[in-house]
C-alpha cells in the first residue's frame, strides 16, 4: 500500500478543507482508501469537514475518528486534521459501520456483514462515549440514585450495581472491548483484529466520534477490512510476560515497580462496588489525594472539554481464566460512589492491586511493536497510546525519529487510548500480560500495534 | 505624490514606500561593526551609478581607505566616480568642527547648486563638540542645512554617553544591530521612525553580501503589510464624490485627508468603518 | 523554508494557543501572532512587555529549559527556540500542556532550522 498524507490545523473548517484539498490535488496516489483523523478542536464540525472531503473524493472507502495526535514522517502533531490517501491495487478494501443499541449487538451485526479470508480487520469505537449534556445529567442522576440505593441496602448492592451497569450499556456510555472483539474473534479466528480505542486525554461532552464512509457516526463501531496477502500484524505492550497461572501473574505484579497496595474488591459487570469494604472513591481519594467531584464541577469540566482522564494511578486486576492482568485508571471520575470501569469483571479475581506510574522508565516500550517490522517498504499503520505523550511530555517527540528510522517514509500513526487486539496464535510473539479474554488484549495503557500493509 | 529617493539597500525601499523622502536627514545608528559605513557607501553608490552626485564626509576613514573598502565589497566603480567628479570624499576630524554653521558652509561650497546624496559617517564626534546648552537648536539647524543640499544618510554610534538627540530631529531613524550569536537574526534592521509615511514595523534580518552590500531579508507578508491596498479604491472614490458635494473651504481639507488616507491604507480590510467615523466626526453625520 | 511569521501563524491556529511570540534574547520581538479569539490576553501581553527582558535574561543566564508563568486565566510558556531566540506561547489555563508541547516542539524545530 502506498500512502500520502495531507495535514492542516486551520481553525475554520472551510479553510481547513480547502487547505487539505490543495495538498491532495498534488498527490500522486489513486485513492482506494481515505483515512481522516481530527483532533477535538473541530468538535461539532466533523460532518462539514467530511462533506467537504467527500465532495472531492467521491464514494471512496473512508474510515477515521477523532484522535489526540498523529505521527507522520515529518512530525508529531496534536492539533489539526490528517487525511491519509492510500493506494493499493492488490488489496480488497471495505469500510463498514453499525450503530446498534448496545456495543455487543453492533459488533455482532458488523461482524456478520464482513467477509474476510486473509487480511486484517481494524475496528474504531469509543470505549467510553460521553453523551450530550442532558444525557450526561441523566447518567449522573442514575449513578447517584443507584449508589445511594447500594449504600442504604448493602445486601442488595450487587443488584443496584448491576442495574447501573445495564443502564450504562443501554445508553452506550461504555463500548467494552471485551464485548466487541470476541464477536470478531469467533467469526474470524485466523484474522488479526485491531481495536482503535478512540478516547482522549481530555474528554468533552458528546465525544469521541467515529467516522465511516464520509459520515460522522458518533458513538458507532466501524470496521476497515483489508484483504491482502502478506499483511503483518505486530502487537506489543510495555509490560513483562504474564505468569503461567493467575497466582504467578500476581507474584509478577507484586514485584513490579509502582504497585503500592493490595486490596479486596467487590464488583459486578463493569462496576466496582467496594474496595476493602469501603466505597471505591474513598479508597481512590486516599491513593490520589483527590476527592470525587460534585455534579456541577463534573459537568463544568466536561462542558469545557478540560476533564482529564489520563492519570498516573491505577487499579490492576487479574483474570482467573487467562492469567492475564490489566488496569484501569484510578481517579475520581464520577460524582457518585459506585465506580464503573472499562472491563467486564466476570472471571476477575477479587484481589486487586493499586499502583502508581506503570510507565516509569518505559518510554521506548511504548513503540516496541515497531521493533518487529519486517518490510520497511510496506505501509505501516501505527496505533499508539496517548498516555506516552502525557507521561513523557516533550521526550515523546523522539518517537517521530525512532519510527521514521524503522518505517522509512511510508507510514502513519495515531495516538488515542491504548489499542486493543485479538491475535490468532501465529501473531503472538510472547505471553502478553493484558490478556482480557483468550487471545484478546486490552488494558488502560501501554499497548501498541503496527500493521504492515 | 512626494518624490522618494531609493536607498539602494536591497529590500529596504519596499518597507518605506519606495525610499527616503527627498531632502531629508536619515539616521542610521547602531554599535560598532554593524554595517553603518556599508549602508552609507551603498546609499551614495546607488545614486552615483545613476548619474547623481554624492558627497561622503568621513570622520574616521581616509579617501584611500574608503576606496579600498568599497572595492573589497565589489564596488570598484567608485574610483571612476571620483575621477569624473561625481563623488567627493571629505575626510575630516570631528574635533576640527567647532562651529556647525561653518561646516555647513564648507559643504555648500563643495556641492554648489545641484542636489546631492550626502553621507556623514559618523556624526558622533561632531555631537561631542556641540555645546550642551544649545544642543537641540544647533543640531536642528544643522539638519535643516543638510536638507537643503539633498538627501542625507547620517550615521551615529550607539554607545554609552553618546547623545541621542539627533534621533529625535532626523526624518527617519534606522537601527542596525548585531548580537553575535551566529544566527539569522543576529544582524537586524529596525525602522524606528519614518516621518510622513507608513513603514514596516518588524525586526528584519540582514546580511552583508559581497558585490551587493546590505541585503534585508523581507518576506512577501511583511511587504504586504506596508503596501497600500488598491482593492479598496472604490470606497475612497465614493468618499471623494460625497466630499465634493460639501460647500466651502472644508471641502478641500477633507479631500486632502481622504487622499492621504487612501495612499496609506495598508490594512487588509475595508476602510468602510473608518470612513463612516470620518464623516460622523467631520460633518456630524454619516453619508 | 518557512519564515517565523509563517511558523508562528500556524502555531496560533492551534486551539490552545491564544498568542505566540518569538523574542530575540535582547527582548526584540521577531514575530507575534495573536489568534482572533485572544482579546482576553491583553493584560498578559502588557505584563510581558514589562517583564520579558528580565525573563529572557534569566533563561539565558541559567540555561533554563522552559519557564511557565500562570495567571488567573492564562499561562505563558517561554521556551528557548534557538541560540538567540525564545518562543513564548500564551494559552488558557487548563489546556493539555503535554499535547500542546508537541505543537510547540514542532514550531521550535522549524524556527531552529530557519535561524541556522
A341 has pLDDT over 90: yes
Total domains in the fold of chain A = 2
A184 and A40 inside one domain? yes
The answer to whether B221 contacts C114, with C-beta atoms less than 8 Å apart, is: no
Q: Which residue, chain included where needed, has cell 478542536? A: A41
Q: What pLDDT is stored for residue A23 in this prediction?
A: 97
Highest mean pLDDT among A190-199, A307-316, B116-125: A190-199
Test C29 with B188 for CB contact under 8 angstroms: no
Residue A299 sits in the same domain as residue A274: yes
Tell me what ipTM this predicted complex has.
0.91
Per-residue confidence band for A390, with pLDDT thresholds at 50, 70 and 90: confident
Q: Does pLDDT of A424 surpass 60? A: yes
Are residues A322 and A398 located together in one domain of the fold? no
More confident residue, A419 or C93: A419
Print the domain residue range for A284. Answer: 243-356
End of a domain among A356, A377, A394?
A356
Residue A145: inside a domain, yes or no?
no
Looking at the predicted structure, is the pLDDT value of residue B166 above 90? no
**A397/C98 touch (CB, cutoff 8 Å), yes or no:** no
- Give the least confident one: A21-30, A212-221, A417-426, B102-111: B102-111
Cβ neighbours around A63 below 10 Å, total: 27
How many Å apart are CA C103 and CA A7, to the nearest integer?
A: 13
Domains of chain C, start order: 4-115 (3.30.450.30)
Q: Is A228 within a domain?
A: yes
Residues of chain C contacting residue A394, judged by C-beta atoms under 8 Å apart: 98, 101-102, 104-105
Same domain, residue pair A351 and A408 = no
Which chains reach chain A with 3 or more Cβ–Cβ distances below 8 angstroms?
Answer: C
Q: Is there a domain that residue A269 lies in? A: yes
Co-location of A297 and A221 in the same domain: no
* Same domain assignment for residues A66 and A214: yes
Same domain, A70 and A106: yes
Q: Using only C-alpha atoms, what is the Rg of chain C?
A: 13
DSSP string for residues in A235-302: EEESS-B--SSHHHHHHHHHHSTTEEEEEEEEEETTEEEEETTB-HHHHHHHHHS-PPPPHHHHHHHH
- At A221-264, the pLDDT tens digits run 999 999 999 999 999 999 999 999 999 999 999 988 888 899 99
Q: Which of the other chains make 3 or more beta carbon contacts under 8 angstroms with chain C?
A: A, B
Q: Min CA distance, C29 vs chain B (Å)?
A: 7
Q: For residue A30, is it within any domain? A: yes
The pLDDT score that the predictor gives to residue A408 is 83
Order of strands across the sheet with B150-157? Answer: B87-91, B53-58, B116-121, B150-157, B25-30, B172-178, B187-194, B203-209, B213-216
Q: Are residues A401 and A434 in the same domain?
A: yes
Give Cα A309 to chain centroid, integer Å. Answer: 13
Q: Provide CB contacts within 8 A for C8, sequence distance 6+.
A: C20, C21, C22, C31, C32, C33, C107
Starting at the edge strand found earlier in the chain, the sheet holding C29-34 runs: C29-34, C17-24, C85-92, C74-80, C67-70
Q: Residue A409: pLDDT band by 50, 70, 90 thresholds?
A: confident
Residue B1 has pLDDT above 70, yes or no: no
Report yes or no on A148 lying in a domain: no
Q: Which of A356, A387, A421 is at the close of a domain?
A: A356
**pLDDT confidence of residue B99:** 79
Q: Answer yes or no: do A221 and A328 share one domain.
A: no
| Chain C residue with minimum CA distance to B180 | C84
The answer on pLDDT for A49 being more than 90 is: yes
Mean pLDDT, chain B, whole residue set: 90
CB B217: neighbour CB atoms within 10 A? 17
pLDDT tops 80 at residue A90: yes
Which residue among A304, A328, A356 closes a domain?
A356
Output Rg (C-alpha) for chain A, integer angstroms.
Answer: 21
Please, how many CA atoms are within 13 Å of residue B95, restricted to the half-sphere of its CB? Answer: 1
| Average pLDDT of the segment spanning B53-67 | 94
Residue A20: its H or E element: helix A13-24
Of C15, C95, C105, which has the smallest distance from its Cβ to A394's Cβ? C105
* CB contact C32 to B (< 8 Å): no
What would the mean pLDDT of A89-96 be, rounded to a whole number? Answer: 96
pLDDT at residue B78 in the model: 95
Does B221 contact C25 at a Cβ distance shorter than 8 Å? Answer: no
- Over the stretch A312-331, which tens digit does the pLDDT of each residue have? 899 999 999 999 999 999 98
A397/C105 Cβ within 8 A: yes
| Cβ proximity of B165 and B38 under 8 Å | no
Domain identity same for A62 and A195: yes
What is the mean pLDDT of the segment spanning B117-131? Answer: 85
Partner residue opposite A9 with nearest CB, options C13, C97, C98: C13
In terms of DSSP H, where are the helices of B63-173?
63-73, 78-83, 100-111, 124-129, 135-149, 165-169
Q: Is A79 on the interface with C (CB under 8 A)?
A: yes
| Distance from C-alpha of A420 to C-alpha of A440, rounded to nearest angstrom | 7
Domain membership of residue A61 (yes or no) is yes
In the predicted model, what is the mean pLDDT of residues A381-387?
A: 95
CB-nearest partner of B185 from C5, C6, C84: C84
Interface A-C, measured as beta-carbon pairs within 8 A, has a size of: 61
What is the spatial distance between Cα A197 and Cα B284, in angstroms, rounded to a whole number? 64
**Which chain B residues are within 8 Å of C114, Cβ to Cβ?**
184
Give the pLDDT band (50/70/90) at residue B220. Answer: confident
Distance CA A155, CA A164 (A): 16
Residue A87 shares a structural domain with residue A222: yes
- Closest CB to C5 among B182, B184, B219: B219
Q: Is residue A256 part of a domain?
A: yes
Indicate whether A196 and A326 sit together in one domain.
Answer: no
- Say which range, B32-41, B158-167, B201-210, B239-248, has the weakest mean pLDDT: B158-167
Grid look-up 572595492 returns B71
Residue in A40, A77, A202 nearest the CB of C103: A77
Confidence at residue A391, expressed as pLDDT on a 0 to 100 scale: 86
pLDDT at A311: 78
Asked whether the beta carbons of A358 and A339 are under 8 A apart, the reply is: no
Res A306 pLDDT > 80? no
Region for residue A195 given its phi and psi (left: phi exceeds 0; alpha: psi -120 to 50; beta: otherwise) = beta
Residue-level pLDDT at B160: 75
Cα(B101)–Cα(B249) distance, rounded to whole angstroms?
41
Q: Among A7, A8, A9, which would you mutate to test the C interface (most chain C Cβ atoms within 10 Å of its Cβ)?
A: A9
Enumerate the residues of chain C whose CB falls inside 8 A of the CB of residue B177.
26, 28
The 10s digit of each residue's pLDDT in C6-40 is 999 999 999 899 999 999 999 999 999 998 655 67
Residue among C36, C113, C115 with most chain B CBs within 10 A, to mutate: C115
Q: Chain C partners of A14 at a C-beta cutoff of 8 Å?
A: none
Closest residue on chain A to C36 (Cα)? A11
Is residue A146 in a domain? Answer: no
d(CA A142, CA A336): 9
List CB contacts (< 8 A) between C15 and chain A.
11, 39-41, 79
- Give dist(CA A145, CA A139) in Å, integer: 10
> What's the whole-number mean pLDDT along residues C59-80?
92
Rounded to the nearest 5°, which phi and psi values hold at B117? -95, 130
Cell of A390: 502525557
Q: Find the angle CA(A365)-CA(A352)-CA(A156) to the nearest 5 degrees.
A: 140
- Which is more confidently placed, A297 or A127? A127
Q: What is the mean pLDDT of chain A?
A: 93
From the CB of residue A288, how many other CB atoms can be counted at a distance below 10 Å? 17
C-alpha cell at B109: 561650497
Split at pLDDT 50, 70, 90, the class of B165 is confident
Amino acid at each position: 500500500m502506498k500512502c500520502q498524507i495531507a495535514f492542516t490545523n486551520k481553525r475554520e473548517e472551510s479553510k481547513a478543507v480547502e487547505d487539505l484539498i490543495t495538498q491532495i490535488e498534488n498527490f500522486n496516489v489513486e485513492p482506494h482508501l481515505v483515512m481522516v483523523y481530527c483532533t477535538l478542536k473541530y468538535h461539532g464540525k466533523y460532518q462539514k469537514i467530511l462533506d467537504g472531503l467527500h465532495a472531492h473524493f467521491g464514494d471512496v472507502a473512508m474510515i477515521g475518528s477523532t484522535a489526540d495526535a498523529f505521527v507522520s514522517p515529518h512530525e508529531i502533531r496534536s492539533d489539526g486534521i490528517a487525511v491519509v490517501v492510500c493506494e493499493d491495487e492488490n488489496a480488497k478494501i471495505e469500510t463498514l459501520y453499525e450503530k446498534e443499541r448496545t456495543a455487543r449487538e453492533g459488533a455482532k451485526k458488523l461482524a456478520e456483514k464482513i467477509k474476510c479470508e486473509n487480511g486484517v480487520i481494524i475496528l474504531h469505537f469509543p470505549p467510553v462515549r460521553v453523551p450530550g449534556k442532558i444525557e450526561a445529567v441523566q447518567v449522573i442522576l442514575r449513578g447517584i440514585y443507584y449508589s445511594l440505593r447500594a449504600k442504604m441496602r448493602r445486601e442488595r448492592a450487587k443488584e443496584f450495581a448491576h442495574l447501573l451497569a445495564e443502564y450504562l450499556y443501554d445508553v452506550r456510555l461504555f463500548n467494552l472491548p471485551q464485548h466487541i472483539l470476541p464477536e470478531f474473534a469467533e467469526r474470524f479466528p485466523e484474522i488479526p483484529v485491531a481495536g482503535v480505542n478512540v478516547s482522549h486525554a481530555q474528554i468533552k461532552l458528546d465525544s469521541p466520534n467515529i467516522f465511516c464512509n464520509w459520515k460522522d457516526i458518533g458513538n458507532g463501531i466501524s470496521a476497515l477490512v483489508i484483504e491482502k496477502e502478506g499483511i503483518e500484524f505486530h502487537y506489543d505492550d510495555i509490560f513483562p510476560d504474564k505468569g503461567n497461572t493467575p497466582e504467578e501473574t500476581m507474584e509478577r505484579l507484586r514485584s513490579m515497580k509502582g504497585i503500592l497496595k493490595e486490596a479486596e474488591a467487590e464488583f459486578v459487570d463493569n462496576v466496582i462496588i467496594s474496595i476493602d469494604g469501603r466505597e471505591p472513591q474513598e479508597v481512590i481519594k486516599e491513593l490520589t489525594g483527590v476527592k470525587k467531584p460534585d455534579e456541577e464541577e463534573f459537568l463544568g469540566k466536561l462542558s469545557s472539554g478540560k476533564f482529564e482522564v489520563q492519570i498516573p494511578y491505577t487499579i490492576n486486576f487479574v483474570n482467573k481464566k487467562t492469567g492475564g492482568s490489566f488496569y484501569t485508571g484510578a481517579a475520581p471520575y464520577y460524582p457518585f460512589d459506585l465506580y464503573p470501569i472499562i472491563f467486564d469483571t466476570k472471571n476477575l479475581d477479587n484481589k486487586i492491586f493499586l499502583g502508581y506510574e506503570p510507565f516509569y522508565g518505559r518510554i521506548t516500550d511504548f513503540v516496541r511493536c515497531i521493533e518487529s517490522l519486517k518490510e520497511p517498504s510496506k505501509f505501516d499503520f501505527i496505533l499508539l497510546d496517548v498516555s506516552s505523550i502525557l507521561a513523557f511530555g516533550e521526550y515523546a517527540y523522539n518517537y517521530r525519529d525512532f519510527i521514521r528510522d524503522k518505517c522509512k517514509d511510508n507510514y502513519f500513526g495515531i495516538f488515542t487510548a491504548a489499542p486493543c487486539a485479538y491475535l490468532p496464535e501465529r501473531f503472538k510473539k510472547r505471553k502478553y500480560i493484558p490478556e482480557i479474554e483468550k487471545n484478546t488484549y486490552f488494558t488502560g495503557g501501554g499497548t501498541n500495534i503496527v500493521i504492515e500493509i | 505624490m512626494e518624490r522618494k529617493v531609493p536607498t539602494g539597500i536591497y529590500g529596504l525601499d519596499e518597507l518605506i514606500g519606495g525610499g527616503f523622502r527627498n531632502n531629508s536627514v536619515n539616521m542610521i545608528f547602531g554599535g560598532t561593526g554593524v554595517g553603518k559605513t556599508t549602508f552609507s557607501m551603498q546609499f551614495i553608490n546607488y545614486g552615483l551609478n545613476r548619474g547623481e552626485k554624492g558627497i561622503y564626509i568621513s570622520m574616521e576613514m581616509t579617501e584611500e581607505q574608503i576606496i579600498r573598502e568599497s572595492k573589497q565589497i565589489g564596488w570598484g566603480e567608485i574610483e571612476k566616480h571620483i575621477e569624473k567628479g561625481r563623488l567627493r570624499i571629505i575626510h575630516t576630524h570631528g574635533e576640527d568642527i567647532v562651529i556647525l554653521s561653518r561646516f555647513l558652509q564648507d559643504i555648500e561650497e563643495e556641492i554648489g547648486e545641484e542636489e546631492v546624496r550626502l553621507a556623514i559617517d559618523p556624526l558622533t564626534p561632531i555631537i561631542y563638540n556641540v555645546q550642551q546648552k544649545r544642543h537641540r537648536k544647533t543640531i536642528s539647524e544643522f539638519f535643516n542645512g543638510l536638507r537643503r543640499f539633498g538627501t542625507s544618510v547620517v550615521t551615529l554610534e550607539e554607545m554609552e554617553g553618546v547623545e541621542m538627540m539627533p534621533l529625535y530631529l532626523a526624518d527617519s531613524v534606522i537601527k542596525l544591530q548585531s548580537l553575535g550569536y551566529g544566527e539569522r537574526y543576529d544582524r537586524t534592521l529596525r525602522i524606528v521612525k519614518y516621518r510622513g509615511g507608513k513603514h514596516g514595523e518588524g525586526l528584519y534580518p540582514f546580511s552583508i553580501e559581497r558585490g551587493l552590500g546590505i541585503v534585508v531579508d523581507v518576506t512577501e507578508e511583511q511587504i504586504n503589510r506596508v503596501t497600500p491596498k488598491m482593492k479598496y479604491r472604490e470606497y475612497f472614490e465614493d468618499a471623494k464624490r460625497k466630499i465634493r458635494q460639501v460647500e466651502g473651504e472644508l471641502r478641500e481639507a477633507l479631500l486632502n485627508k481622504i487622499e492621504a488616507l487612501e495612499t496609506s491604507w495598508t490594512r487588509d480590510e475595508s476602510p468602510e468603518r473608518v470612513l463612516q467615523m470620518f464623516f460622523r466626526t467631520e460633518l456630524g453625520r454619516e453619508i | 523554508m518557512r519564515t517565523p511569521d509563517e511558523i508562528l501563524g500556524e502555531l496560533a491556529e492551534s486551539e490552545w494557543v491564544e498568542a505566540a511570540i518569538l523574542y530575540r534574547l535582547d527582548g526584540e520581538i521577531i514575530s507575534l501572532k495573536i489568534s482572533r479569539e485572544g482579546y482576553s490576553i491583553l493584560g498578559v501581553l502588557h505584563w510581558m512587555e514589562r517583564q520579558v527582558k528580565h525573563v529572557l535574561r534569566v533563561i539565558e543566564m541559567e540555561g533554563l529549559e522552559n519557564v511557565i508563568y500562570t495567571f488567573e486565566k492564562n499561562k505563558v510558556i517561554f521556551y528557548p527556540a534557538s541560540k538567540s531566540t525564545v518562543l513564548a506561547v500564551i494559552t488558557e489555563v487548563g489546556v493539555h500542556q503535554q499535547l500542546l508541547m508537541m505543537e510547540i516542539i514542532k514550531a521550535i524545530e522549524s524556527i531552529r532550522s530557519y535561524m541556522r
